[in-house]
């Protein structure tokens, strides 16, 4: 700091304030200090800053399946929002196992980060609390009965319901659902998974439209990926099941499903209209382009980061977990351009 101050021709305190972005330092002086630091080859030492302030300005983002479009694009949106707040993000992929999630929380985010935005799958809230080192945490799609962390949800129920109603509106009279097996709406209660929530929303859509469904209209996919969706559509068609609409619980499932329908000699949307859920960038460039429930990932990122930063500020009030839901919109494209 002394070297930088000497080259910039300012006091050590002024150099320190300038490098921290203190608004009390006029832009011209701050520019001189930053230029001096660059000339000398000096950069901020996060470890040293953490020792002085208790924070290093790094936010952890722990998401599963970063090799798929939606989690990857969501993580990019969160990282961009973190950067917009003047902080940095460390994005980690969690394996879909308890051990993998524990490892990320214990060995990376709790030690290196001021707080974490985490998509839980296999660990409980109490385990997360124990591993978080008492640092702020915001969870994504945490459906715990008694939430102990702030949570941002994807619009599972409302989005799935809108998808079914859209298929009905374009003229579909026999709709199948790909992604989860059937349970009656009256017995479903309050599901605790994304798949369960999307099933509930789909059932609400069927109920509102007056369309009767059976368990044969719902196809389970243990993994929401292209290849399994393709196989399941093969089985659905080969079973002789008649359907003219297909709601896929993710865009990834929809991509595989369309490939499977084409394999079986069916045309989309002429024979079967297909609806996805997520709103990934690739949807627009598919052939046909994919109609989908597009989650507003910028809104999701803004809400998650804002909740985390709010916890940094602290409060004397008793902690009450906040629950927010991301916005969405229905995007109709070629895959549901079905004649009435």
Element of type H or E holding 313: helix 297-313
Q: What is the CATH number of the domain that holds 30?
A: 1.10.260.40
Residue 203 has which token pair?
């059932």
> How does pLDDT run along the chain (340 residues), one tens digit per residue?
889 999 999 999 998 888 877 778 998 999 999 999 999 888 766 555 544 545 678 999 988 888 899 999 999 999 999 999 989 998 988 866 677 777 777 776 666 788 999 988 777 777 887 777 778 899 999 888 777 899 999 999 999 999 999 999 999 999 999 999 998 888 888 888 899 999 999 999 999 999 999 999 999 998 899 999 999 999 999 999 999 999 999 999 999 999 999 999 999 999 999 999 999 999 999 999 999 999 999 999 999 999 999 988 877 788 888 999 999 999 999 999 975 5
Residues 180 and 286 occupy one common structural domain = yes
Is 222 part of any domain?
yes
Residues 173 and 287 occupy one common structural domain = yes
All residues at 6 or more sequence positions from 303 whose CB lies less than 8 Å from its CB, including other chains: 152, 324, 326
Is 248 part of any domain?
yes
Residues 72 and 135 occupy one common structural domain = yes
Q: Are 251 and 283 in contact (CB under 8 A)?
A: yes
**CA–CA separation, 77 vs 80, rounded Å?**
5
pLDDT of residue 228: 95
**CA–CA separation, 324 vs 307, rounded Å?**
9
Question: 150-153 and 88-94 as β-strands: parallel, antiparallel, unpaired?
Answer: unpaired
Residue 146 has which token pair?
């008694």
Is 106 part of any domain?
yes
Q: In what order do the strands lie in the sheet with 115-118?
A: 88-94, 58-64, 115-118, 137-140, 150-153, 323-325
**CA–CA separation, 116 vs 281, rounded Å?**
26
- The counts of H helices and E strands in the chain are 14, 12
Residues 287 and 303 occupy one common structural domain = no
Residues 66 and 84 occupy one common structural domain = yes
Residues 302 and 187 occupy one common structural domain = no
pLDDT of residue 51: 45
All residues at 6 or more sequence positions from 46 whose CB lies less than 8 Å from its CB, including other chains: 56, 57, 58
- Could you report the per-residue pLDDT of 123-138, keeping only the tens digit for each? 777 788 777 777 889 9
pLDDT of residue 29: 93
Residues 182 and 256 occupy one common structural domain = yes
pLDDT of residue 130: 79
Is 178 part of any domain?
yes
Residue 167: domain span = 156-295+329-336
Residues 168 and 286 occupy one common structural domain = yes
From the centroid of its chain, how far is CA 198? 15
Is 51 part of any domain?
no
pLDDT of residue 79: 96
Query: How many residues appear in the chain?
Result: 340
All residues at 6 or more sequence positions from 325 whose CB lies less than 8 Å from its CB, including other chains: 152, 153, 154, 155
Q: What is the largest CA-CA distance in the chain?
A: 82
Residue 29 has which token pair?
């002086």
Output the DSSP codes for 134-178: T--EEEES---SS--SEEEE--HHHHHHHHHHHHHHTT-SSEEEE
Q: Are 202 and 277 in contact (CB under 8 A)?
A: no
Residue 254 has which token pair?
């929809």
Domain total of the chain: 3
All residues at 6 or more sequence positions from 170 whose CB lies less than 8 Å from its CB, including other chains: 245, 269, 273, 332, 336, 337, 338, 340
96: number of Cβ within 10 Å: 12
Q: Are 246 and 178 in contact (CB under 8 A)?
A: yes
Residues 320 and 229 occupy one common structural domain = no
- Could you report the per-residue pLDDT of 65-77, keeping only the tens digit for each? 888 999 999 999 9
Q: What is the CATH number of the domain that holds 123?
A: 3.40.50.2300
- Could you report the per-residue pLDDT of 198-246, keeping only the tens digit for each? 999 999 999 999 999 999 999 999 889 999 999 999 999 999 999 999 9
């Amino acid at each position: 700091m002394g070297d930088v101050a000497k080259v910039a021709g300012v006091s050590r305190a002024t150099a320190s304030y300038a490098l921290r972005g203190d608004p009390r330092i006029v832009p011209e002086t701050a520019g001189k200090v930053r230029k001096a630091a660059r000339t000398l080859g000096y950069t901020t030492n996060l470890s040293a800053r953490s020792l002085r302030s208790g924070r290093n300005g790094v936010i952890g983002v722990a998401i599963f399946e970063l090799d798929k479009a939606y989690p990857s694009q969501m993580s990019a949106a969160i990282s961009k929002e973190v950067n917009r707040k003047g902080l940095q993000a460390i994005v980690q992929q969690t394996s879909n196992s308890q051990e993998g999630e524990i490892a990320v929380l214990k060995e990376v985010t709790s030690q290196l980060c001021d707080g974490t935005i985490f998509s839980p799958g296999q660990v409980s809230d109490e385990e997360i609390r124990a591993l978080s080192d008492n640092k702020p945490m915001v969870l994504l799609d945490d459906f715990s009965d008694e939430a102990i962390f702030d949570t941002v949800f994807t619009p599972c129920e409302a989005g799935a319901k809108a998808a079914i109603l859209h298929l009905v509106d374009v003229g579909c009279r026999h709709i199948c659902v790909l992604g989860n097996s059937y349970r009656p709406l009256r017995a479903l209660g309050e599901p605790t998974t994304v798949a369960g929530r999307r099933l509930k929303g789909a059932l609400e859509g069927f109920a509102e439209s007056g369309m009767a469904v059976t368990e044969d209209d719902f196809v389970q996919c243990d993994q929401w990926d292209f290849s399994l969706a393709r196989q399941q559509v093969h089985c659905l068609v080969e079973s002789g099941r008649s359907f003219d609409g297909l709601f896929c619980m993710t865009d990834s499932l929809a991509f595989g499903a369309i490939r499977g329908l084409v394999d079986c000699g069916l045309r989309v949307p002429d024979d079967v209209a297909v609806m996805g859920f997520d709103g990934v960038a690739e949807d627009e460039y598919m052939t046909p382009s994919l109609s989908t429930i597009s989650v507003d990932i910028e809104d999701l990122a803004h809400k998650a980061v804002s909740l985390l930063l709010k916890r940094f500020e602290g409060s004397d009030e008793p902690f009450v977990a906040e629950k927010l839901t991301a916005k969405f919109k229905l995007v109709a494209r070629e895959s549901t351009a079905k004649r009435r």
